[in-house]
Structure 1
Amino acid sequence: MSYRQSDHLITIPQGQLALRQQGAEGAPDVLVLGGISGGREIYTAAGKGWWQGLIDNAGLLGYNLWSLDYLGGMGASTCQVTPTTVETQAQAIQTALMSLGVEQLHAIIGGSYGGCVGMAMAAAGDLQIDRLVVLGAAHRPAAQAIMLRSLQRDFVGLAEELGDAERGVALARALAMVSYRGSSGLDARFPNGVDAIDFMHQRALRLVQQDPVRARQLFTVFGPALDVFRVAPQQIKVPTLLIGFKDDLLVPEHLLTELAGLLPDCYSYEAVDTAHGHDGFILNTAAFGPGIKHFLEEL
């Protein structure tokens, strides 16, 4: 099977969804979904994909991979009204895939927000989904995560009242960076803790400079969607590999233990020991990638 890559801009009722198709032509279809700021550039030949490690460590180039830019998120997708729930985002993705003739997925692999979208798709049952991999996501939000996202929106709102909207978005992203990373990983990277402040603000500014309007929506639309997300695990009938991360402030271990116990077919639950907290789903792919590879091949 030969490698191929192509981009698609699919018109759906909500707008236009930008998807990327890459990997082995004629191989089983696998949908890869990242966090709220993750897009379709998961892998590049130059090694610059934002989820490059996942593709390499899980051997995913042997599949026909689909990735996308979320409606209302960063990237090339466009819509009149950003989907206000995880379920409406999931429905839009299903509609786009079916319009491309994809009615069966060998697997969905979803990290963070993408894990919630993957669970919503599996619960809806509109597509035939053979396997589900959920990384750093749960069936309901943690109270602490809701509190943090509420503060992010407060930053955005207060800054807008003061006439400096972009500053509010940058502060919201800075707070997000604090919640994404583990404390031990930050200490190891920044022995002089003051240096971490520059890192936090530089990462925030980078996002805002890409597109301040869309960056704002990550906190004013995507955040509330995560706050109200609920899925009944009993509705997810497909074999599910569940992966969590130690010291994850946003998706703590007790939620994932609860989810694992409620899933009808939990293939396995693994808590990855990482210094990177929630961002372990991006930075610790060598630890869990081989397990995903085995899961996709075994069943």
Structure 2
Amino acid sequence: MTEFIPPGSRFHALPSPFPMKRGGQLHGARMAFETWGTLDADGGNAILIVTGLSPNAHAASNAQDPSPGWWEAMLGPGKPIDTERWFVVCVNSLGSCKGSTGPASPDPATGEPYRLSFPELSVEDGADAAVSVVRALGITQLACLIGNSMGGMTALAVLLRHPGIARSHINISGSAQALPFSIAIRSLQREAIRLDPLWNGGHYTEERYPESGMRMARKMGVITYRSALEWDGRFGRVRLDSDATDEDPFGLEFQVESYLEGHARRFVRFFDPNCYLYLSRSMDWFDLAEYGQGDVMAGLAGLRVASALSIGAATDILFPLQQQEQIADGLRAGGAEAEFLALPSPQGHDAFLVDIARFGPAVAGFLAVT
């Protein structure tokens, strides 16, 4: 059980006990976060970023950690999220293994990792933990709340559970509920991990680690993060220059297979399997219809924010465009000035991470009038 904490992380102690939505509570829990820019005297220029499943709090380089962050092209001086104007906070999700308390963290009651004794995790728990960081920084109201992928769900939960916390909201490739296709993919990913004999009911070690299960889970994820259009344009049917198939007739033969294998191997030892299981399941459980008497649009209409932008990529199969359009329509029904923007990016769900040429101007344009 290993935690992977960026060197620039700061920590906020959550209230103890910290109650969880589905029961149970945490004691001595913490949230990892990083900041950029300077908070105005009135605290009115604050932006909170809540992330997808796997990122840490290091969204961009800063004085504490000059290494490039996962959203380096989007965040910084003169960039779409301009830190010369905004004070930006990015939190690592509750339940993660990158600084915030999760299944890989030590349980103060035993001194051993929580593993599967960690309480059932919901997106709403992550929202409450993120707001606790914001409040601790002296921020009464955010100028903008930004969430992408799973963070889009978390952001909606923040608006739900903390009315008035943000004047505006940008939801990027997010959703108000998990759809069957996404649930099915994540279910298979979790099954791949749990069926690895070395998972051992969550009691693995660094020496006996469910690497095969994590590799398969990550490969399935990466396939859905990009589009068929990009896979074709990037790799085509190019074969590897290798004689490996002579030794293993079912081994890697195409460049796309080699790419997936390399990507998965880089990931498996840098994300804790139990944390992956908990965060993945929390996304499947999230459904704003729960707060709208079974109607997701009613759940969205119950959220209060002055203005919002919901953005998606036309080729996203994991969080398809109709989900971002639904968010805009639902927030508009609740009184927000909400816009939906469909971007023709060929790069699928991951487009917001790599297609800054399209996503950057959309974010910058919205913030310019915020």
The reply to whether TM is greater than 0.5 is yes
**1:252-273 deviations in whole A, cap 9, x for unaligned?**
1222333322222252101111
Match of 1:199 in 2: 259
Distance 1:198-1:127 versus aligned 2 partners, 3 A rule: farther
1:35 aligns with 2:84: no
Match of 2:73 in 1: 53
1:127: Cα distance to partner?
5.4
Match of 2:275 in 1: 217
Unaligned runs of 5+ in 1: 1-5
**2: distance between equivalents of 1:34 and 1:258?**
20
TM-score normalized with structure 2 length: 0.73
1:122 aligns with 2:171: no
State the structure with bigger RCO (CA 8 A, min sep 6), 1 or 2: 1
Match of 2:304 in 1: 237
The residue type paired with residue 227 of structure 1 is: D
1:47: Cα distance to partner?
6.7
Match of 1:167 in 2: 212
1:42: Cα distance to partner?
0.8
1:226 aligns with 2:294: no
Match of 2:362 in 1: 291
- 2:328 is matched with which residue: 256, 260, 263? 260
Match of 2:351 in 1: 280
Distance 1:11-1:162 versus aligned 2 partners, 3 A rule: closer
Match of 1:10 in 2: 12
**1:80-139 deviations in whole A, cap 9, x for unaligned?**
436611001101111222122222111111110111111110122255201100001111
Structure with the larger strand share: 1
Q: Is the 8 A contact 1:53 1:286 kept in 2?
A: no
Match of 1:3 in 2: none
The residue type paired with residue 260 of structure 1 is: A
**2: distance between equivalents of 1:162 and 1:298?**
50
The residue type paired with residue 221 of structure 2 is: A
Distance 1:167-1:82 versus aligned 2 partners, 3 A rule: farther
The residue type paired with residue 258 of structure 1 is: Q
Q: Is the 8 A contact 1:82 1:221 kept in 2?
A: no
**1: distance between equivalents of 2:120 and 2:74?**
27
1:162: Cα distance to partner?
8.2
Q: Is the 8 A contact 1:243 1:271 kept in 2?
A: yes
Q: CA RMSD in A?
A: 2.1
Q: Is the 8 A contact 1:38 1:74 kept in 2?
A: no
Distance 1:28-1:233 versus aligned 2 partners, 3 A rule: same
Matches within 5 A, 1:96-115: 96-115=133-152
**2: distance between equivalents of 1:276 and 1:83?**
33
Unaligned runs of 5+ in 2: 1-7, 17-25, 108-117, 201-208, 239-253, 289-298
- 2:315 is matched with which residue: 247, 251, 259? 247
**1:55-86 deviations in whole A, cap 9, x for unaligned?**
25414212111012222213122244366110
Q: Is the 8 A contact 2:309 2:328 kept in 1?
A: no
- 2:340 is matched with which residue: 259, 262, 269? 269
3-state SS of 2:145 partner: strand
Q: Is the 8 A contact 2:193 2:273 kept in 1?
A: no
1:200: Cα distance to partner?
1.2
3-state SS of 1:243 partner: strand
**Identical-pair percentage:** 23
**2: distance between equivalents of 1:82 and 1:92?**
14
The residue type paired with residue 168 of structure 1 is: G
| Larger of the two Rg values belongs to structure | 2
**2: distance between equivalents of 1:100 and 1:127?**
17
1:44: Cα distance to partner?
1.2
Farther-moved stretch of structure 1 (37-46 vs 238-247): 37-46
TM-score normalized with structure 1 length: 0.90
Matches within 5 A, 1:124-139: 124-125=161-162, 128-139=165-176
